[in-house]
C-alpha cells in the first residue's frame, strides 16, 4: 500500500500541512527539533491509534490548541482507505475520535489493519537492551496490525488481569474472600489463549525471517541470530489449562505479593547471537543489525498477512549505519513506500529518493537542488 496524502492540523509543531508523497522514498531533512519525527508520528497515529513515543495523547496537540487532527489517505490493492484521528485536550470523556472512510469509530481496534506501518527509530535499540515490556509492545503492535482480533483479545486479557489484581488488593484489605479468585483465574486463563497462540506463531516466524535478514545485513556467516518466545506459557499447547494450574499453584505467592505473578503479561523475547544472550555480550553494531533484522521481519510478516506492503517510516536510522549495512538495508526495502528523516543529506549516500523536503519549525518545503 502507499499513502496519497497526509494531512495535519494543529499537530505538534504544525498548524496546517498537507503532503502528497510519491510512491517511492520521500526524505525529510532538517535540523534537530525541526519537526521531522512529528511527521512520522502522525502517520503512526493514523495506523495504530497511538504515538510511537508517548502514551500521553495530549502531548501531540499543538501548544495553545484545544484539538488536533491527522488524516491519511492510502491506496491498497483493494481500494482506497481514509483514516483519521482527532484528539481533544479538554476534560470531556471522549478525548480521541477516529474516522474511518467517512464514519466515526469509537474503538481504537477498528483502526487496526486499514493503513499499516513499520517504524524504524533510534530508540529501537531499547528492544535489545531494555526491559521486557518493550519487547512485548513490539509483538503486540505487530500482531495488532495483523488484525484487530489480537488487539481486542489483549484488551480482554488486560482487563481480566486488572480485575484479578484489584481483587487481590481487596483480599489483602480483608474486604474479600480468597475463594473469589476462582472466577478471575478462569477468566484470565481463557483470555490468555488467543494472546499466547498469536505470540507463539509470531515468535516462530520472526525467528526464521530475522535470522535471514541478520545474515544478509550483518554479512557474517558465523553470527547466527535467533529469537525465542519465553514466558510461563511459551511452550504450552494448552495455555488455558496450564495457566489455570499455575494460578492455583501460585495463589499463596500472589496473595502475599498482591499481584498476579504468572501469565503472558510477564512474557519476553530472548534474542541470541551464536546461542548467547545478546543483552550480555553483543556490540552496539550487532545490536543495530539485530534491530533492523527484526523490523524487516515485521515488514515481511505484515506483507504476507495482508497481501500488501506496509509503509516504512525510517527515523534518523541511516546515519547510524556503515556504508555496507546502509546499502543492504536500502536494497531490502526498495519498492516499498518510505518516509525517511535525516539531519544531513550526506546520510543518504546510496539512496535514491523521489522527493526531498526541507523541514523547518512549522513548515515543509521542497529542497532546492
Give me the residues that bind ligand ADP (CB under 6 A), please.
12-13, 30, 32-38, 59, 61-63
d(CA 151, CA 141): 8
As measured in angstroms, the least distance from the Cβ of 246 to ligand ADP is 43
Minimum CB distance to Mg ion, residue 18 (Å): 21
- Residue 32 interface partner, choices Mg ion, ligand ADP, none, CB cut-off 5-8 Å depending on type: ligand ADP
- Least Å distance, CB 339 to ligand ADP, is 12
Minimum Å gap between C-beta 344 and ligand ADP is: 12
Q: Least Å distance between CB 97 and ligand ADP?
A: 18
Closer by beta carbon to ligand ADP, 40 or else 154: 40
Indicate whether 200 belongs to the interface with Mg ion (CB under 5 A). Answer: no
What residues pair up with 19 in beta bridges, in sequence order? Answer: 6
Nearer residue to ligand ADP within complex by CB, 162 or 360: 360
H helical segments located in the chain? 36-48, 125-129, 132-146, 148-172, 181-218, 239-249, 251-257, 278-281, 284-306, 323-332
Beta bridge partners of 68: 87
- With CB under 5 to 8 Å by kind, the binding choice for 253 among ligand ADP, Mg ion, none is none
Using CB distances below 5 to 8 A depending on partner kind, what does residue 62 bind out of ligand ADP, Mg ion, none?
A: ligand ADP
Select 121 or 309, whichever has its Cβ closest to ligand ADP.
Answer: 121
**Binding partner of residue 12 among ligand ADP, Mg ion, none, CB cut-off 5 to 8 Å per kind:** ligand ADP
CA dihedral 103, 106, 108, 113 (to 10 degrees): -30
| Phi, psi for residue 173 in degrees, rounded to 5 | -85, 0
Which grid coordinates are listed for 150? 489480537
Tell the smallest beta-carbon distance from residue 368 to ligand ADP (Å).
Answer: 19
- What does the DSSP assignment read for 286-323? HHHHHHHHHHHHHHHHHHHHHSSPPEEEEES-GGGS-H
CB atoms within 10 A of CB 56: 7
Phi and psi, residue 164, nearest 5°:
-65, -45
Q: How are strands ordered across the β-sheet holding 225-230?
A: 225-230, 268-273, 276-277
Nearer to Mg ion, 35 or 194 (CB): 35
Rg of the Cα atoms in the chain: 22
| 54 or 104: CB nearest ligand ADP | 54
Give the nearer residue to Mg ion in terms of CB position, either 119 or 188: 119
Give me the least distance between CB of 165 and Mg ion, in Å please: 36
- Please state, in angstroms and rounded to a whole number, the distance separating the CA atoms of residues 180 and 189: 15
Torsion on CA atoms 272, 146, 296, 39, rounded to nearest 10: -120
Partner from Mg ion, ligand ADP, none contacting 13, C-beta within 5 to 8 A by type:
ligand ADP
- Closer CB to Mg ion, 37 or 189, in the complex: 37
With CB under 5 to 8 Å by kind, the binding choice for 38 among ligand ADP, Mg ion, none is ligand ADP
Give the nearest distance from C-beta 53 to ligand ADP in angstroms: 8
Per partner kind, with CB cut-offs from 5 to 8 A, the member of ligand ADP, Mg ion, none near residue 135 is none
| Residues 18-47 contacting Mg ion, CB under 5 A | 37
> In the complex with Mg ion, which residue's Cβ is closer, 37 or 272?
37
Question: Closest by alpha carbon to 341, among 162, 61, 119, 117?
Answer: 119
Where does this chain bind Mg ion (CB under 5 A)?
37
Amino acid at each position: 500500500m502507499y499513502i496519497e496524502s497526509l494531512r495535519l492540523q494543529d499537530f505538534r509543531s504544525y498548524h496546517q500541512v498537507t503532503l502528497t508523497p510519491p510512491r517511492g522514498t520521500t526524505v525529510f531533512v532538517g535540523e534537530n527539533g525541526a519537526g521531522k519525527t512529528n511527521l512520522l508520528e502522525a502517520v503512526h497515529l493514523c495506523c495504530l491509534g497511538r504515538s510511537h513515543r508517548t502514551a500521553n495523547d495530549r502531548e501531540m496537540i499543538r501548544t495553545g490548541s484545544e484539538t488536533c487532527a491527522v488524516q491519511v489517505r492510502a491506496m491498497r490493492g483493494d481500494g482506497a482507505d481514509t483514516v483519521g484521528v482527532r484528539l481533544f485536550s479538554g476534560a470531556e470523556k471522549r478525548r480521541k475520535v477516529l474516522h474511518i472512510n467517512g464514519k466515526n469509530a469509537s474503538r481504537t481496534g477498528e483502526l487496526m489493519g486499514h493503513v499499516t506501518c513499520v517504524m524504524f527509530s533510534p530508540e529501537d535499540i531499547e528492544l535489545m537492551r531494555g526491559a521486557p515490556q518493550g519487547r512485548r509492545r513490539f509483538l503486540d503492535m505487530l500482531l495488532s496490525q495483523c488484525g484487530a482480533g489480537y488487539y481486542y483479545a489483549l484488551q480482554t486479557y488486560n482487563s481480566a488481569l486488572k480485575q484479578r489484581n484489584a481483587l487481590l488488593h481487596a483480599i489483602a484489605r480483608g474486604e474479600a474472600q480468597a475463594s473469589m479468585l476462582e472466577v478471575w483465574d478462569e477468566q484470565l486463563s481463557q483470555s490468555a489463549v488467543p494472546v499466547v497462540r498469536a505470540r507463539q506463531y509470531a515468535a516462530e516466524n520472526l525467528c526464521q525471517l530475522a535470522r535471514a535478514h541478520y545474515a544478509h545485513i550483518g554479512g557474517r556467516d558465523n553470527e547466527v541470530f535467533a529469537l525465542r518466545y519465553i514466558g510461563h506459557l511459551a511452550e504450552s499447547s494448552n495455555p488455558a489449562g496450564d495457566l489455570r494450574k499455575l494460578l492455583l499453584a501460585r495463589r499463596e505467592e500472589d496473595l502475599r505479593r498482591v499481584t498476579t505473578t504468572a501469565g503472558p503479561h510477564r512474557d519476553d523475547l530472548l534474542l541470541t547471537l551464536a546461542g548467547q544472550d545478546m543483552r550480555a555480550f553483543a556490540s552496539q553494531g550487532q545490536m543495530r543489525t539485530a534491530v533492523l533484522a527484526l523490523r524487516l521481519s515485521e515488514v515481511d510478516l505484515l506483507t504476507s498477512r495482508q497481501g500488501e506492503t506496509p509503509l516504512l517510516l525510517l527515523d534518523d536510522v541511516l546515519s547510524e549505519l556503515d556504508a555496507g549495512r546502509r546499502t543492504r538495508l536500502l536494497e531490502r526495502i526498495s519498492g516499498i513506500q518510505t518516509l525517511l528523516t535525516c539531519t544531513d543529506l550526506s546520510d543518504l549516500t546510496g539512496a535514491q529518493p523521489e522527493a526531498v523536503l526541507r523541514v523547518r519549525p512549522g513548515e515543509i518545503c521542497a529542497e532546492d537542488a
